[in-house]
Structure formats: structure tokens, C-alpha cells
Amino acid sequence: MRIRRIPRFSVTLLALCSGVIPSFIGSVGTPYAYLGSTGQGPPYRGVGLRVAIVKPVFTATAYSYTFGGSPSFYEFYGTHKDDPHTQNITTDLNLLNVSVVDGWGWSKGLDRYITSVVGDYGLGIIVARSFTILSDIDVTQGSLFNQDGSSRFDVVVLGFTEYVTSQEYYDYQRFVASGSRLIIMDASNFVAEVKYYPETNHLALVRGHGWGFDGRKVWRDVFYRWQDENANWVGSNQCCSENSIPWLAWLTPTYTGANLTGDYPISVALKQRFGPVVFRSYTGHEENNVTNMTDATILARWLGPKLNPQNIIAVYLHRYINGTVVDIGVMSSEVVDHDMSVQFFLLSSIADSTMTQR
């Protein structure tokens, strides 16, 4: 069955603290976001940013079976993990070319957060004049840009975006380079390349996660499709398992929060609101290691009893050409629907995009 295209809609986004943006517009305690079944919020009454969040349907498709759907990529990986590395595989190829799933997958918590009525807890700033839901399909088909090549949005927010098309990946890079902000709320982003077939609404693995696929056979290949590119413009890559197998990165030590550092406005506002240690509800799943400190600002360092000091597991801001990437460094979709400090970080990162100094 062909899956319906994910609708686009706009709502009013209310939020942020006077410590991040000094003008105070909203009243304390009013809801800052509501995305009901119609996808429409109240009429916009202020001036703010154009914000989009991308529904990670490609990654949700790869993990379909995990969430009660049809077998997909990971069932292939599990079936053939012990096959000889020098041997091409020509069976079970249907598991690597599957119908797209209209879901949030591991980012369901992010979905719950943005689709709920939540009090602004005294934050009280209108930071967005539109909040648009896109999908990976929309981004692949060019929805980040206008026909003249200019960006349609000031800020784009990503959840767990492990699988992307080549067009999608390079459009995110172009989006940042052109002067916009990309906020990454989950680790293990941009690990593998996939191809989308709009005629059949199918998704196929191309390269990454240890495999290559050309539609006729599968072979052992690189785990990280864009490792060097990620280090260059995103500033980090997936890590940090004590095991030698990358896909066991979720077997990480327990985290106990993140220690805020420096005097960047996001860090300062979080510390004023929640104290020196934030994000305490996150205990570990998959994390990223900061691999490029050039033109980067560490906002907080993740804490844990057994962390390797050679890894920089951090919340950070990375400047790339004319724009910025802000990355929380962990799988925060798992806690954003109930951890107020994570919510505050997301909204602060949106508001701060108007103030970033190059």
C-alpha cells in the first residue's frame, strides 16, 4: 500500500527565556505549542523565526520491525551478520528495499513533545512565526529551499536521523552553509545512505552500517558513510561503545547528566534555570563524540562514572561557513517529552539562532 504524503502545517511556537532573548512578549504560564489533529494553532501575533522539524521516516523505516511493523534493514543485518566477509549476499534482498513507514521511530518522544499542550514554565517568548513539519521525503525533494535557492527556514530541528539520502544529506550541509541553524536532538545522525523511489514509495539501503547494496547483491562496506564530512561540518560522529563493534554503541556507561560550561548564552540560561547539571533523566543509549573543535563551543560535558576521557561527549555549537549546528550529543528524544531542561535547551537553541555571532 502506498503511504500518504506527510502533511505540512504551521502552528504558533511560543517559548523562551529572557536570558536568551531580552524582549519579553508572552505571558507567564501560557501554552507555547499546540499541534492538534488539524495541525493548526492560533493566529500568529508576533515576529519570529521560520522553524521546521523533520519527521525521520527513513530511519523509522529501517527500524520498522522494532516498532511492530514489517521486517526491514535490521532483520537483514541480523540474519547475515555471521556470513563470510568476502562473500556477496544475494538472498533476503527484499529486506533492504522496503515500503516507507510513516512514523517517528526512536524519535516518538520528540513527536509527543511537539504535539502536546505544554505550559511555558515562565519562559514566555514567541520565537517562531511558523513551525512546519517536513519529512525526509520532503527534504530529499528540495523542501528546504525556495526556487531562487534561498532557505525557506531559519532553523531546522532533527530527531534520530541515522538514514538519509545523498540529496538530503548535502541539502542539510548547504542549509547550514547558507547561514541557517541545524539543531540535532539525537545522536548517531547521518550514519548510512539510502535511496528513495517516489514511484513506489520504497526505500533501499545504498551504503553504510557495514553494508553496500546495489539492488542485486550485498557486500561488506564502511560503517560510517560520511565520517569525514560529518567531522567537517557537523563536528561529531557516533561513538562510544567499549566494544569494537560500532552497532553496539548503545552498550554505553550510565550517564548522570551534563555539566554546563562556559559563558555562551544557552549555557548561562540553562544554569540560571536548572543549576550547573542538566538533562539528568538521560541515562544512555547512543552518543556522539565531538571530532572537530575548530570554531566550536562546548555548552556542556556529559557526566558518567566510566566515560573514556579521550572522548568528548558534549553538547556543543559548531560554526560552519555562514551557519551553525547545535547538537545535544545524545538520544534526547527518549526524554524530551518529560525533561524540562531538554525542552528548555531546544527552545533556547531556536531563539539563540538570531544572536549567533560569527
The three cell numbers of residue 67 are 516498532
How would residue 40 be classed by pLDDT, with cut points 50, 70 and 90? very low
Q: Where are the beta strands (DSSP E) in 115-224?
A: 118-119, 126-135, 155-158, 163-165, 181-184, 192-197, 202-208, 211-213, 218-220
Q: Does domain 13-56+104-190+226-352 have CATH number 3.30.450.40?
A: no
From residue 63, alpha-carbon distances to 67, 69, 75, 95 in Å are: 7, 8, 9, 11
Q: What is the pLDDT of residues 21-31, one digit of tens each?
A: 332 222 222 23
Distance separating alpha carbons of residues 295 and 320, to the nearest angstrom? 8
In one letter, which amino acid is 9?
A: F
What are the helix (H) ranges across the chain? 57-62, 73-80, 108-114, 136-140, 166-177, 227-229, 265-274, 340-352
Q: What is the pLDDT of residues 271-300, one digit of tens each?
A: 999 999 999 999 888 899 999 999 999 999
From residue 77, alpha-carbon distances to 73, 80, 141, 162, 212 in Å are: 6, 5, 28, 15, 12
Cell 538570531 belongs to: 354
Which residues lie below 8 Å from residue 325, measured CB to CB, with a gap of 6+? 176, 181, 182, 183, 184, 233, 234, 235, 317, 318
How would residue 105 be classed by pLDDT, with cut points 50, 70 and 90? very high
SS3 state of residue 333: helix
Q: Is the pLDDT of residue 233 over 70?
A: yes
Predicted TM-score of the model (pTM): 0.84
SS3 state of residue 264: coil
Burial class (CB in 10 A: 0-12, 13-18, 19+), 315: buried
Q: Is the pLDDT of residue 2 over 60?
A: no
In one letter, which amino acid is 293?
A: M
How would residue 121 be classed by pLDDT, with cut points 50, 70 and 90? very low
Distance separating alpha carbons of residues 329 and 271, to the nearest angstrom? 18
Distance separating alpha carbons of residues 204 and 96, to the nearest angstrom? 5
Which sequence spans correspond to the domains of the chain? 13-56+104-190+226-352
The answer to whether 300 touches 259, Cβ cutoff 8 Å, is yes
From residue 142, alpha-carbon distances to 159, 180, 316 in Å are: 19, 16, 27
